[in-house]
């Protein structure tokens, strides 16, 4: 069960409204790597966690924080939209700075949201549940969480450069810091899983005896770039400590020709049989 305080985790006050920037900032709310994504990803991972104790508790701590990040960004967007030119016709525009806003702002910020934030990204695509994963395998999920925080911090850093508003930047500095610490925490959690003997470096730590060992260490050279063999991924020990990388130059296919069986007569696939 959850509780709420009206106080924001961190202040979200722009110095001045900026409707064009509000449109861009939506990426951090409802984009594939935005705060709705980490909120729902961590909540579902916490609920799906099969180990009681430190892992589950930490996931729920961070998940709960993320709901508050959506709140901060939604508040910021509403404040950035204050006084947006929602009734200005194109023909009335005399100033290039206004033209950029009138042509560029998200029309749904006015028509649908009435000046409030939307559960959508910077081009208006709605957030959807396929953005998240909660597989029950903590190693696989923590890998996804590191990726989410890395992409999230990257997008925040890009958005930081797209504004010079001190109030917006103050909030984004906080967000950058939280993305840094969360990246670190998921990386630490990966180490912890390995220390606790629960998972290995490659997820899931299962079926290694079944898998086709001769194909578990080769890079197939299928593009004609000549330098692919120069990286750590092409020779030497693999990170899992179990394999030695090899580069296969110009490898031959191992299977027979692709084909599909004769069709069922009820389906009217074209056939000459």
Using CB under 5 A, list all residues that contact Ca ion: 69
Select from 15, 20, 35, 167 the one that contacts its own copies (CB under 8 A). 20
40 makes contact with its own copies (CB under 8 A): yes
232 binds, among its own copies, Ca ion, none (CB under 5 to 8 A by kind): its own copies
Residue with Cβ nearer Ca ion (36 or 139): 36
Token digits for 7?
């106080």
| 215 CA to centre of own chain | 30
Kindly state whether residue 162 participates in binding its own copies, applying the rule CB under 8 A: yes
Residues of span 215-254 touching its own copies by CB under 8 A: 215-234, 238-240, 243, 245, 252-254
Q: How many residues touch its own copies (CB under 8 A)?
A: 208
Among positive and negative, which fits the CA dihedral 62, 64, 70, 71? negative
Compute the least distance from the CB of residue 249 to its own copies, in Å: 10
When asked if residue 38 is in the footprint of its own copies (CB under 8 A), the reply is no
Task: With CA atoms as reference, report the closest residue to 56 among 64, 41, 45.
Answer: 45
- Minimum CB separation from Ca ion for residue 170, in Å? 16
What Rg, from alpha-carbon coordinates, does the chain have?
25
166 scored as a contact of its own copies (CB under 8 A)? no
The 244-249 sheet, strands edge to edge: 218-221, 244-249, 236-237
**Distance (Å, whole) CA 192 – CA 200:** 10
Q: Which does 194 bind (CB under 5 to 8 A by kind): its own copies, Ca ion, none?
A: none
Binding mask 90-129 for its own copies (x = CB under 8 A): xxxxxxxxxxxxxxxxxxx-xxxxxxxxxxxxxxxxxxxx
Beta bridge partners of 237: 244
The option from its own copies, Ca ion, none interacting with 167 (CB < 5 to 8 A, set by class) reads none
Long-range pairs of 103-106 with CB within 8 A, sequence gap ≥ 24: 104/20, 104/23, 105/19, 105/20, 105/22, 105/23, 106/22, 106/23, 106/26
Pick from 182, 174, 206: which is nearest to 37 by CA? 182
225-to-8, 140, 222, 250 alpha-carbon distances in Å:
51, 31, 9, 12
- 166 touches which of its own copies, Ca ion, none (CB within 5 to 8 A by kind)? none
| Choice between 24 and 69, CB closer to Ca ion | 69
- The dihedral over CA atoms of 85, 88, 93, 96, expressed in degrees to the nearest 10, equals 20
CA angle, corner 84, sides to 79 and 90, nearest 5? 160
User: Binds 76, which of Ca ion, its own copies, none (CB < 5 to 8 A, cut-off by type)?
Assistant: none
Is the backbone of residue 34 left (phi > 0), alpha (psi -120 to 50) or beta? beta
Site for its own copies in 177-196 (CB under 8 A): 177-178, 180-181, 183-189, 191-193, 195-196
Nearer to Ca ion, 33 or 101 (CB): 33
**Whose Cβ is closer to Ca ion: residue 69's or residue 79's?**
69
Which residue of 15, 35, 38, 60 would you call a contact of its own copies, by CB under 8 A? 60
| Closest distance of CB 35 from Ca ion, Å | 5
Q: Per rule CB under 8 A, is residue 167 in the interface with its own copies?
A: no
């Amino acid at each position: 069960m959850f509780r709420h305080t009206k106080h924001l985790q961190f202040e979200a006050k722009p110095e001045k409204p900026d409707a064009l920037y509000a449109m861009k900032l939506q990426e951090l709310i409802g984009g594939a790597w935005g705060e709705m994504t980490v909120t729902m990803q961590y909540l579902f991972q916490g609920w799906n966690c099969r180990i009681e104790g430190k892992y589950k508790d930490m996931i729920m701590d961070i998940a709960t924080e993320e709901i508050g990040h959506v709140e901060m960004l939604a508040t910021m967007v509403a404040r950035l939209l204050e006084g947006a030119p929602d009734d200005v016709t194109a023909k009335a525009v005399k100033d290039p700075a206004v033209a950029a806003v009138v042509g560029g702002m998200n029309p749904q910020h006015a028509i649908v949201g009435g000046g409030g934030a939307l559960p959508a990204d910077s081009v208006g695509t709605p957030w959807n549940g396929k953005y998240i994963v909660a597989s029950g395998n903590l190693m696989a999920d923590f890998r996804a969480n590191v990726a989410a925080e890395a992409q999230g911090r990257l997008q925040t850093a890009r958005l930081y450069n797209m504004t010079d508003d001190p109030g917006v930047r103050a909030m984004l500095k906080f967000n950058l810091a939280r993305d840094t610490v969360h990246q670190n925490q998921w990386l630490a959690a990966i180490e912890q899983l390995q220390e606790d003997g629960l998972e290995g470096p490659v997820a899931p730590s299962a079926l290694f005896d079944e898998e086709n060992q001769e194909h578990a260490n080769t890079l197939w050279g299928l593009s004609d770039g000549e330098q692919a063999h120069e990286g750590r991924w092409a020779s030497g020990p693999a990170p899992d400590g179990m394999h030695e990388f090899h580069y296969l130059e110009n490898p031959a296919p191992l299977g027979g020709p692709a084909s599909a069986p004769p069709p069922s007569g009820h389906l009217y696939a074209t056939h000459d049989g």
